[in-house]
């Protein structure tokens, strides 16, 4: 069993597709362990997106991610990290296959609806960063 951190971004919340997105992971057989709706701060985003801090789009990424609430979630299942990444589709939704979340609900990288951890190690870091406390601990 593996855990991953998924986060519905502000565009997903604003468009009212939280339930639809959650339904996909539940249907796949993954288990929802924790969920938190929150306003992301620039501080937490700077840590979460530290690998992108020198990119030209970083300021607009911060503006987008703070434009409304996000829904952070911890999901558990067999190979949850890679299974969920496949269900998300690639970063650039233009290249995402229909049937993936980004392929069905997004068109541009800067508004791609959902985040998913890219490794088991990063998943554990992100869970502790976004949903610290008892419910999200192993
Ligand atoms: P992913 O979210 O698929 O793991 P990432 O970690 O490389 O991708 O980037 C994090 C987010 O930053 C991504 O979901 C959207 C934004 N982003 C990445 N590349 C971008 C680009 N070329 N233009 C605009 N936003 C981008
Ligand atoms: Mg990433």
> Does 61 contact ligand 1 (Cβ within 6 A)?
yes
8 A C-beta contact, residue 113 and residue 102:
yes
Q: pTM of this prediction?
A: 0.96
Q: Which atom of ligand 1 is nearest to the CA of 90?
A: 3
Distance CA 109, CA 94 (A): 8
Which residue reads 């997105």 in tokens?
21
Q: Which atom of ligand 1 is nearest to the CA of 115?
A: 2
pLDDT reading at 103 higher than 60: yes
Average pLDDT over residues 61-84: 98
pLDDT reading at 138 higher than 80: no
pLDDT of residue 72: 98
> Does 111 contact ligand 1 (Cβ within 6 A)?
no
pLDDT reading at 11 higher than 90: yes
pLDDT reading at 122 higher than 70: yes
pLDDT of residue 71: 98
Calculate what percentage of the chain has a pLDDT beyond 70.
96
Nearest residue (by CA) to ligand 1, atom 19, is: 109
């Amino acid at each position: 069993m593996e855990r991953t951190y998924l986060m519905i971004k502000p565009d997903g919340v604003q468009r009212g597709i939280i339930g639809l997105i959650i339904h996909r992971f539940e249907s796949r057989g993954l288990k929802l362990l924790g969920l938190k709706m929150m306003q992301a701060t620039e501080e937490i985003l700077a840590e979460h997106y530290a690998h992108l801090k020198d990119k030209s789009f970083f300021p607009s990424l911060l503006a987008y991610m703070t434009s409304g609430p996000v829904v952070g979630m911890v999901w558990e299942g067999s190979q949850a990290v890679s299974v969920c990444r496949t269900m998300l589709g690639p970063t650039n939704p233009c290249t995402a296959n229909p049937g993936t979340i980004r392929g069905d609900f997004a068109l541009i990288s800067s508004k791609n609806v959902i985040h998913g951890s890219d490794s088991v190690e990063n998943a554990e870091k992100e869970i502790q960063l976004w949903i610290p406390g008892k419910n999200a601990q192993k």
